[in-house]
Amino acid sequence: MATALLPIIQKGFDLNVALYGYVNRFPRADKALLGREILRQALDLVVLLVTANHQADKVPTLQESSTRLDAVRITLRLAYRLTFLSHKGYEVLSRDVAEIGRMLGGWLKESAGRAAEAVSEDIEETLEKAAQQKSKKGRQKGPAVRYALTSPKLEAYLRAKLDHPEKVVFVKTGVFYRTFFEDAQFCHRQLRLKL
C-alpha cells in the first residue's frame, strides 16, 4: 500500500521529473556537465526533505535542504542564461522551485519554533528544580537595591520579581527567555549559562 507523500516532497519529486525532460534537451556536452549537476542537486534536495521528515530535530536538515534549493535555483538560472532552457521552460521550473521554497520556509519556521519550545520547556523545568533547591536553602538577606527602569523587559522582570521574590524570574523576549541581576548569576552558576 502506497503512503501519501508530504506536499513538499511530492513537489520536489515532480520537479525532478520535469527536470529530466528539460535536461534531456540540453546539448550533449552540456547535458553531461551542467545537466548532471542540476539533476544531482534536485535529487539531493528530495532526499534531504525525506530525511528531515523522519528526524526529531528537523532544523539542520531543512537548512541544508534550503542550501540545496538555492543551488538548484542558481544552476537553472545558468542553464537559462546559456540558452539551454527556453524562456517558458525556465518560467515553469522557477515557479516550481519558488513554491518549494515557500513550503520549505514554512516548514523550517514551524520546526524551529517547536525546537525553541522544547528547549524553553527543558530550561523552565531545570530552573524550577534549581529554584526549589534555592528556596530550601533560604535566601540571604542583604541591603535593598534600587534599580532604575531602563527598558520594558527589565520593568516586567522587576514587577514579577516583586510578586515572586523566592523564585527565579524570566521574561520572554521572542522565542528566548531573559533574566537579570541575581537570578542571572544564579542561572549562570546552576546551568553554566554565559552571562
pLDDT for the residue numbered 143: 52
Q: What is the mean pLDDT of the chain?
A: 83
pLDDT for the residue numbered 145: 52
The per-residue pLDDT for range 68-119, each reduced to its tens digit, is 999 999 999 999 999 999 999 999 999 999 999 999 999 988 887 776 666 6
Rg (CA), the chain: 26
pLDDT of residue 49 exceeding 90, the answer is yes
Distinct helix (H) and strand (E) counts, the chain: 7, 2
pLDDT for the residue numbered 118: 65
Q: How confident is the model at residue 188 (pLDDT cuts 50, 70, 90)?
A: confident
**Full-model pTM:** 0.59
Mean pLDDT in residue range 145-173 = 77
DSSP state, residue 45: H
- Take residue 115 and report the three cell numbers written for it: 525546537
The per-residue pLDDT for range 58-70, each reduced to its tens digit, is 889 999 999 999 9
Domain ranges for the chain: 7-115, 147-191
For residues 33 and 89, what is the distance between their CA atoms, to the nearest angstrom?
A: 19
Q: How confident is the model at residue 1 (pLDDT cuts 50, 70, 90)?
A: very low
Domain 7-115, CATH: 1.20.1440.60
